[in-house]
Structure 1
Amino acid sequence: MKIKEIITVLEEMAPLAYAEDFDNVGLLVGNQDEEATGVLVCHDALESVIEEAIAKKCNLVVCFHPILFSGIKKITGKNYVERSLLKAIKNDIAIYAVHTALDNHKNGVNKIFCDALGLINTKILVPKPNFIQKLVTYTIPENVEQVRNALFDAGAGKIGNYDDCSFTSQGIGTYMGNENSNPEIGERYEFVEAQEIKIEVTFEKHLQSKILKALLKNHVYEEVAYEIYDLQNLHQNIGLGMIGELEKPLSEVEFLQLVKTKMQCGGIRHSSLLGKSIKKVAVLGGSGSFAIKNAIQAGADVFLTADLKYHNFYESENQIVLADIGHFESERYTKNYIVDYLKEKITNFAFVLSEENTNPVKYL
């Protein structure tokens, strides 16, 4: 099996188009056309993890955090990033990162977080904006079903929990061909008024080329009329963070003790307790201070995240309990999810869960 075949499965799990613009996801090091000898899945692709991959004969390391995040001009081994890259390159080991591509997936990092705490009725906390487009096209009645089904097969027409969503309306289309035309209805230089059906479907913007290819392949007209619009709608199934509910309310102390146990936290930093029971819980794995207002607006009793600064705790405004459970801790089960997903999709290959604990934060 080639590395690129495994990458195809990884991108089904966490489409790169879902990643944030600032992020660096996908294949960071290596040649995707190489034969894969084994896959090591880790949280951070540190030098010690690359050594583990060498020992376990894995030439592909799949990491959550990208070891190569911002641009570098030299690779001399002067810091932990450069040392890891040098060792990987020297030993022909490819590195692939998923990061926010999996953060933004409805079954990704934050669903894993919710599941670990037993939360139910979960939904995205910060839905992704500027991700939905709309296609409008026109064809004759006899061609509608073929075009519409082709668009559905290409990924159009998905809205929340529903597939094959579209809208059609009827009208009159007009055209007149020139000497180079080959009209489906009518003749050259003839003014034609034809009964046409307008088809409207929405789709995720990264599918645009695939959608257009399906449209042009299945449309009967020589020249296909269509329009594509950017929509302001938020994508309810893609985005950062998640909010859910406990099956039974807990006191604030009971809940934080539950979190400490389930997420194996070395400690939890939190804002003032409010003396209220905890029922509605917002989570955001990794650095999540930007979503404090979203958690409050969603009516959460508590917001679990990481990397909160001193002044972030004031933003609770006595409306919510803010809890910093640790960056690594909030994402700790992600690598397990990746391994399980790969094993389920590719049953005859060696996927290894890294034994290295790459959490740089220690507790007394």
Structure 2
Amino acid sequence: MKLQELISYLEKIAPSSYQEDYDNSGLIVGEMSQEVNGAIISLDCTEAVVDEAIANGVNLIISHHPIVFKGLKKFNRKSYVERVVMKAIKHDIALYAIHTNFDHVLAGVNSKICEKLGIKNPSILSPKTGILKKLVTYCPVEFADRVREALFSAGAGKIGRYSECSYNTDGFGTFKAGEGTNAFVGEVGELHKEAEVRIETVYPVENERKLVLALLTAHPYEEVAYDLYPLTNAFTDVGSGMVGDLQQEIEELDFLHFVKDQLGAKVIRHTELLGKKVKRVAVCGGSGGFLLGKAIGAGADVFITADYKYHEFFDAEKKIIIADVGHFESEQFTQELLFDILTKKFPNFALRLTEKNTNPINYLI
């Protein structure tokens, strides 16, 4: 199939607009129009994974981590990044990364960690702002239901676990149709007053084009009046980390051993035990130290993440247990999550998980 079809599906699940500013998710090597015959899914895109794709005759690699974070000025094989990109181009292998945008969605990286650890009813730990907007429009009373339904079907009106949310005010609109118009109501050259409903509803910014098109299609007027407003509200469906509760309380040390086993961690670096049972747990795949305050504020007993520096462990201040399980260990199940998502949608497309261990860290036990 065309690469565009696969990427479009992935970015419906994790829109590229959800990624952090420093990130480089998306198509790194390749063309949207190219045909892809299969894909290897990997946490990292290393030279060994590219060799694996070549050996298996596969022309797409889907990784969580982008191989390129910063601009490349030279291509002379002196770094592993240059070698990977050059080899992929030479063998016409597309490279696609789905990184922090996949971290930030409800059914993404952190939900998989929660699943592995038996964390129930997880929610976003730090919801993102700048993603929601509000649409306001005005339509004749008898068309209000049709317009609302069109907007909801296009992705508007979701607030938390509630859907089809809107606010509606009765009023009237005025207009005078000019020459050459095809007014739905009123006469050319005459001021017309029409009973209308003001409809307000919120939507994620990535749905805007679809939403406006739905509005223009459902609305009876030749010229549709509508306003789009940016909002600073947090979007609870999108953001960093997750927090939830275990089925039942468990002793701290027992829980850490459980985490170690479930995540296949060689070692867990953690702050001192606090002498109380664990019930509420916060998680963030990868480098999540910036969420410590949020984890404490959410009432978590343990915060599971990676990449903690020595002095940062002091920040727990006996309010929470920080458990650093390792970057690879916290995100490794992203591969199987992507595999499951794509297999369900494209059951006849050749997908395979990499057989390469891309973890650059080794442990002397």
Give the TM-score range, shorter chain: over 0.9
Give the aligned partner of residue 218 of structure 1: 218
**1:91 alignment partner in structure 2:** 91
Q: Distance in 2 between matches of 1:31 and 1:248?
A: 49
Q: Which amino acid is 2:292 matched to?
A: I
Q: Secondary structure at the match of 1:284?
A: strand
Read off the aligned partner of 2:47 and give its amino acid letter: E
Partner residue, 2:162: 162
2:5 and 2:199 map into 1 onto residues whose CA distance is: 35
The corresponding residue for 1:7 is 7
Q: Which residue of 2 aligns with 1:35?
A: 35
Q: Tell which deviates more after alignment, 30-39 or 122-131.
A: 30-39
Deviation, 1:161, is: 2.4
Match of 1:63 in 2: 63
SS at match of 2:43: strand
Q: Is the 8 A contact 2:170 2:196 kept in 1?
A: yes
What is the CA–CA distance in structure 1 between the aligned matches of 2:63 and 2:331, rounded to whole Å? 12
- Between 10-19 and 50-59, the greater mean CA deviation after superposition: 10-19
Deviation at 1:150, TM superposition (A): 1.7
Aligned partner of 1:323: which letter? A
Letter in 2 for 1:33: S
Q: Are 1:149 and 2:156 counterparts? A: no
Q: Deviations over 1:315-361 (max 9, x none)?
A: 11110111111000010100011011111111112101001111111
For residues 138 and 233 of structure 1, the distance between their equivalents in structure 2, rounded to whole angstroms, comes to 23
Residue by residue over 1:241-271, the C-alpha shift from the partner in whole angstroms, topping out at 9 and shown as x without a partner, is: 0001111211111111111111111111111
Structure 1: distance between partners of 2:283 and 2:298 = 12
Worse-matched range after superposition: 164-173 or 54-63: 164-173
C-alpha contact 2:15 2:206 (8 A) present in aligned 1: no
Q: Secondary structure at the match of 2:64?
A: strand
Residue 361 of structure 1: aligned partner: 361
- Could you say which residue in structure 1 is the equivalent of 2:288? 288
1:124 aligns with 2:124: yes
Match in the other structure for 1:101? 101
Residue 246, structure 1, aligned to residue 271, structure 2: no
| Cα distance in 2, alignment partners of residues 70 and 315 from structure 1 | 31
Structure 1: distance between partners of 2:163 and 2:74: 48
- Residue equivalent to 1:187: 187
* Secondary structure of 2:214 counterpart: helix
* Corresponding residue for residue 349 of structure 2: 349
Could you tell me how far 1:235 is from its partner in structure 2? 0.9
Deviation at 1:188, TM superposition (A): 2.5
State the Cα distance separating 1:158 from its structure 2 match.
Answer: 1.9
Q: Which is further off, 251-260 or 226-235?
A: 226-235
Name the structure 1 match of 2:311: 311
Q: Which amino acid aligns with 1:325?
A: V
Instruction: Map residues 312-327 of structure 1 onto 2, 5 A cutoff.
Output: 312-327=312-327
More divergent stretch after superposition (326-335 vs 220-229): 220-229
Q: Counterparts of 1:19 and 1:296 in 2: how far apart (Å)?
A: 24
- TM-score by structure 2 length? 0.97
The reply to whether residue 77 of structure 1 matches residue 77 of structure 2 is yes
Aligned to 1:335: 335
Residue 205 of structure 1 corresponds to which residue in structure 2?
205
Letter in 1 for 2:329: E
Deviation at 1:219, TM superposition (A): 1.6
Deviation of the 1:180 alpha carbon: 4.7
Identity of aligned residues (%): 48
Which letter maps to 2:10?
L
Between the aligned partners of 1:33 and 1:323, the Cα distance in structure 2 is 44
Separation (CA, whole Å) in 2 of partners of 1:44 and 1:20: 18
Q: Deviations over 1:119-172 (max 9, x none)?
A: 112111011111111101001122222222221221111222233222222111
Separation of aligned partners in 1, 2:32 and 2:224: 37
Q: CA–CA distance in 2 between the matches of 1:315 and 1:249? A: 25
* Normalised TM-score (structure 1): 0.97
Corresponding residue pairs, total: 364
Question: 1:65 aligns to what SS in structure 2?
Answer: coil
What is the Cα deviation at residue 14 of structure 1? 2.0
| Residues 24-55 of structure 1, C-alpha deviations (whole Å, 9 max, x = no match) | 11111012222212110001010000000111
Amino acid at match of 1:258: F
Q: Distance in 1 between the 2:86 and 2:236 partners?
A: 41
Residue type of the partner of 1:261? D
> For each residue in 1:46-73, what CA deviation from the matched residue of structure 2 results, as whole angstroms up to 9, or x when unmatched?
0000000111111000000000111111
CA distance in structure 2 between the aligned counterparts of 1:329 and 1:113, rounded to whole angstroms: 10
Aligned partner letter, 2:27: L
Structure 1: distance between partners of 2:142 and 2:74: 61
**1:274-301 CA-partner distances (Å, limit 9, x unpaired):** 1111111000000011100000000100
**Which shifted more, 159-168 or 27-36?**
159-168
Which residue number in structure 1 is paired with residue 276 of structure 2? 276
